[in-house]
Structure formats: structure tokens, C-alpha cells
Amino acid sequence: QVRLVESGGGLVQPGGSLTLSCAASGSVAGSNAMGWYRQAPGNQRELVASITNGGSTNYADSRKGRFTISRDNAKNTVYLQMNNLKPEDTAIYFCKLWSGVGQKAESSWGQGTQVTVSS
């Protein structure tokens, strides 16, 4: 079974930076892509960014240009570099992994890491 462990969250002032990491372990051979979602109190969980095994990236709001997703396939780890953070970025950030195909397709979630942007 796949396990995802996020790290790197914390308290940061507006304009600051954080890098989140998500390490995958277990049955990850069939992984197709990994990504980051976030959820603020009272809001639905929303996609932040995703990246395929081949390195193709997708951003929910590319106009911002503040977040960068990357991965290290050898380490089965995905990263989210966040720059110029704003209070509206405050949320729990979750790592997600997609695997399998067709009827066998499935996804896994991490427990989340809290990011708080405040002065």
C-alpha cells in the first residue's frame, strides 16, 4: 500500500518562502503522477499543481507564477517550492499520488501539512 508523508509546512510571514516535500513509499511502481492540493477552513480541497512521471506539469493558476512543482523519481519524492507567499495561501497542503489504469486506477493521499502565512 502506498504511503505519502508531507513535510516542510509551518508559519511564514507574507513574502516569505517555503518548500514542501512529499515522500512516497510502498507500492509506487505503478505511479502515473503526483501532485499537491490545499484546503482552507470552509473551502473545498483544490488542486495546486501536479506532475507526471515524465515531468509534465500542470498548475491550477499559472498566472501567479509563484509556485513550482518538481520531483525526484529516484527518491519517489515530489516538491512544491512556494515563493512570495500571501495570507490567502494559508491552508492544509495535501500530497496525492495517482496510479494504475482503467478499472484498476486509484489514488492515495497524505495526511497533510499546515502552511500559515501571517505577520
Task: Quick: pLDDT tens for 34-83.
Answer: 999 999 999 999 999 999 988 999 999 765 689 999 999 888 899 999 99
**Cα–Cα dist 95/87, whole Å:** 21
Q: What is the pLDDT of residue 3?
A: 95
DSSP letters for 61-108: TTTT--EEEEEEGGGTEEEEEE-S--GGG-EEEEEEEEE--GGG-EEE
- In the chain, the percentage of residues whose pLDDT exceeds 70 is 97
Q: Which pLDDT band, with edges at 50, 70 and 90, does 1 fall under?
A: confident
Amino acid at 112: G
Q: What is the pLDDT of residue 101?
A: 80
Q: What is the pLDDT of residue 63?
A: 56
CA distances from 7 to 1, 80, 89, 110 (A): 20, 10, 16, 10
Q: What is the pLDDT of residue 62?
A: 64
